[in-house]
Copies of this chain bind each other. A is one copy, B any other.
Amino acid sequence: MTKAVKMMFPEVKLGVGPAIEDGFYQDFDFGDEKISDEIFKKIEKKMRWIINKDFKIEKKTLSEKEAREAFADDPYKNELIDDVVAKGEDISFYDIIDGEGNPFYRDVCAGPHLNSTGEVGAFKITRIAGAYWRGDEKNKMLTRLYGVAFADKEGIEQYEEMMREAAKRDHRKLGKELELFTFDEEVGSGLPLWLPAGAEIVERLERLAKETEERFDYKRVRSPHIAKEKLYLKSGHLPYYAEDMFPPMEIDNEKYYLKAMNCPHHHKIYDATPKSYKDLPLRFAEYGHCYRHEDSGSLFGLMRVRSLCMNDAHIYCTDDQFEEEFQKVIQMYLYYFDLFGIEKYQMRLSKHSKEGLGKKYVDEPELWIKTEDQVRKALQKLNVPFVEAEDEGAFYGPKIDVQIWSAIGREFTLATNQLDFAVPARFNLTYVDKDGKEKTPICIHRAPLSTHERMIGFLLEHYAGALPAWMAPTQAAILPVSEKHLDFANEVFEKIRAARGRVKTLDTSETLGKRIRQAQTQKIPYSVVIGDEEVKNKNLTIRLYGEKKDVKMSVDEFLEKIKYFPTYKKN
């Protein structure tokens, strides 16, 4: 739709402009002209005019010559035409036809488009950004306008309300206010430094991952953060994944790379001792730190970083064991969703494409169909909501992408869960089966808690920074009303510390009211006010975060709350 705005600026060139997950965008080449937010209103006005006219939209196929003529003065469209010609495909165009039946605007596009401009409902241009032509920083910087479209005005209003709420819950803002993490120019972009309060959250997530994996009979392993080039040549990360990896370091005439994935190291650990069918399924878990060379322009708070600490694991199993193992992995996801109150989630089964076999995908058509079917059946049996996507698998097998929605309805991509029927063979991983023959296991890659960077970014928005007590950096604030209540306050403080609780005392140098507000600003789950009554009865009065009513309980009852940790219980 936005393409028609070109009519306002006849001299402006247009780049690409697809629909995206949360709306649409269009790239413009405004030449030397300075562009500001002012332009939003102008463009929106023109768009509304076009929508009101209800112009028809028609798809056409043109010859190369016709196509070149139509965009003689537009280098960007010509480049797109070059690509289509190189692939030997048809050059498809969309014409917007005005009331008199004449082409009002023509664009090269694979489609699909609406039937007429009147079908567009409510829309809004939301923001402006710089973007390299086709995402390549060697190309010219264009101006990208983002927008959203909804069926009606109410949709826009709901969206705007969500965005206002999201701004309040922005993990970067909360991270600063609650002193959770920081970035430093001399350390480097995308490399978070966890301050004490943030590191406490990480500790709890790590404990949650480890204790849950323990219940699911995983074995922990540990691997270094680097390996030789030859390891990644064997795994296939080089050269296919090279762009996402940090450049090598050369030592003793060998190239070493920072690891972008833990799997090759885990395969080596599998291979370190002989295995028999009795050892399978074998589940290796590592809270492993990887490094990925994300483009500096795409770095975003904790959501997109270069240093990623993953709740990672690899499950080696036989073909027969796959379904049960895969189901257990999904159960673990569901357990975490339930724990964090994630009510809306969706899984996407990403499959191979016939055309990609031997190129993007391992050339094993039968294994692809079989394993995709295995994954589909496992999802169906668990009654998990999922969609299927063609041509989006990993190169070694089908994968599940997991989407979750925060409490305010924003979507996050959490993690993937992959079936790998190819790489174990590349590493010559084997087990001796019951019949005495050497066989190759399949491998499930999974990381349900994602990276702790992204998970904490999500949880900060989800809980608006007020994390549940079991993972909060400080669980309790002790507020003695006056000096004479200090003794009991200190006694309670020491008891909480002895129970390994995270507690701080807000001393009497400020008024009680101010301290209660402080504890709320710091989003501390429990405020423990200690006055005459508490000292006399040796009892506690607890105010829960965000609530007005106090709760009374004994010190021992409160210690139980402090000690609570939601370790998965086995049936």
Q: Which of A187, A200, A247 has the most B CB atoms < 10 Å from its CB?
A: A187
A187 in contact with B265 (CB, 8 Å): yes
Q: Given contacts A186-B231, A225-B225, A256-B188, are A220 and B199 in contact (CB under 8 A)?
A: yes
A:206-243 near B, CB below 8 Å:
210-211, 214, 219-228, 230-231, 234
Please report the C-alpha to C-alpha distance between residue A246 and residue B249 in the assembled complex, in whole angstroms. Answer: 7
A:195-209 near B, CB below 8 Å:
195-196, 198-200, 202-203
Q: Given contacts A273-B195, A291-B226, are A258 and B249 in contact (CB under 8 A)?
A: yes
Please report the C-alpha to C-alpha distance between residue A191 and residue B182 in the assembled complex, in whole angstroms. Answer: 30
B193 in contact with A223 (CB, 8 Å): yes
Residue from the list B196, B222, B227, B265 in contact with A219, Cβ < 8 A: B196
Q: Residue A192 at the B interface, CB < 8 A? A: yes
Please report the C-alpha to C-alpha distance between residue A182 and residue B211 in the assembled complex, in whole angstroms. Answer: 25
B221 in contact with A194 (CB, 8 Å): yes
Q: Residue A33 at the B interface, CB < 8 A? A: no
B246 in contact with A500 (CB, 8 Å): no
Q: Given contacts A193-B223, A199-B222, are A228 and B188 in contact (CB under 8 A)?
A: yes
Please report the C-alpha to C-alpha distance between residue A256 and residue B296 in the assembled complex, in whole angstroms. Answer: 14
Please report the C-alpha to C-alpha distance between residue A186 and residue B187 in the assembled complex, in whole angstroms. Answer: 29
Residue from the list B198, B228, B272 in contact with A193, Cβ < 8 A: B272
Q: Residue A520 at the B interface, CB < 8 A? A: no
Residue from the list B198, B211, B252, B284 in contact with A196, Cβ < 8 A: B284
Q: Given contacts A196-B220, A199-B222, A256-B188, are A247 and B249 in contact (CB under 8 A)?
A: yes
B219 in contact with A258 (CB, 8 Å): no
Contacts of A136 in B (CB 8 A): none
B268 in contact with A231 (CB, 8 Å): no
Interface string of A40-62 (1 = CB under 8 A from B): 00000000000000000000000
Q: Residue A184 at the B interface, CB < 8 A? A: yes
Q: Residue A251 at the B interface, CB < 8 A? A: yes
Please report the C-alpha to C-alpha distance between residue A289 and residue B222 in the assembled complex, in whole angstroms. Answer: 11
Integer count of this chain's copies in the complex = 2
The secondary structure that dominates the A interface is mixed
A:500-529 near B, CB below 8 Å:
500
- Nearest chain B CB to A15 CB, angstrom units: 24
Please report the C-alpha to C-alpha distance between residue A306 and residue B182 in the assembled complex, in whole angstroms. Answer: 28
Please report the C-alpha to C-alpha distance between residue A265 and residue B187 in the assembled complex, in whole angstroms. Answer: 8
- Nearest chain B CB to A302 CB, angstrom units: 12
A192 in contact with B224 (CB, 8 Å): yes
Residue of B nearest to A137 (CB): B252
Contacts of A210 in B (CB 8 A): 203
Interface string of A257-286 (1 = CB under 8 A from B): 010000001001100110000000000100
Contacts of A268 in B (CB 8 A): 182, 184, 186-187, 193
Residue of B nearest to A184 (CB): B268
Please report the C-alpha to C-alpha distance between residue A306 and residue B256 in the assembled complex, in whole angstroms. Answer: 12
Q: Residue A31 at the B interface, CB < 8 A? A: no
Q: Which of A221, A246, A247 has the most B CB atoms < 10 Å from its CB?
A: A221
- Nearest chain B CB to A561 CB, angstrom units: 19
Contacts of A311 in B (CB 8 A): none
A273 in contact with B226 (CB, 8 Å): no
Residue from the list B224, B249, B296 in contact with A191, Cβ < 8 A: B224
Q: Residue A416 at the B interface, CB < 8 A? A: no
Please report the C-alpha to C-alpha distance between residue A284 and residue B221 in the assembled complex, in whole angstroms. Answer: 26
Residue of B nearest to A227 (CB): B187
Q: Residue A366 at the B interface, CB < 8 A? A: no
A214 in contact with B272 (CB, 8 Å): no
Residue from the list B182, B272, B289 in contact with A225, Cβ < 8 A: B289
Please report the C-alpha to C-alpha distance between residue A552 and residue B214 in the assembled complex, in whole angstroms. Answer: 29
Contacts of A227 in B (CB 8 A): 186-188, 191
Contacts of A200 in B (CB 8 A): 220
- Nearest chain B CB to A241 CB, angstrom units: 16
Q: Residue A248 at the B interface, CB < 8 A? A: yes
Contacts of A272 in B (CB 8 A): 179, 182, 184, 193, 195
Residue of B nearest to A188 (CB): B228
Q: Given contacts A186-B234, A234-B186, are A223 and B251 in contact (CB under 8 A)?
A: no
Please report the C-alpha to C-alpha distance between residue A480 and residue B325 in the assembled complex, in whole angstroms. Answer: 29
Residue from the list B186, B252, B273 in contact with A230, Cβ < 8 A: B186
Q: Residue A485 at the B interface, CB < 8 A? A: no
Q: Residue A254 at the B interface, CB < 8 A? A: yes
> 3 shortest A-B CB distances, which residue pairs?
A196-B219, A194-B222, A224-B307
What are 28 sample pairs from A and B whose C-beta atoms fall under 8 A apart?
Answer: A182-B268, A182-B269, A186-B227, A186-B230, A186-B268, A187-B268, A188-B224, A188-B256, A191-B227, A192-B224, A193-B221, A193-B222, A194-B222, A196-B219, A196-B220, A199-B221, A200-B220, A202-B222, A225-B225, A225-B258, A225-B291, A225-B307, A226-B291, A247-B249, A247-B251, A248-B249, A251-B293, A498-B570
List 6 additional A-B contacts (Cβ < 8 Å) besides A193-B222, A193-B265, A195-B273. Answer: A184-B268, A187-B265, A188-B224, A192-B224, A193-B223, A246-B256
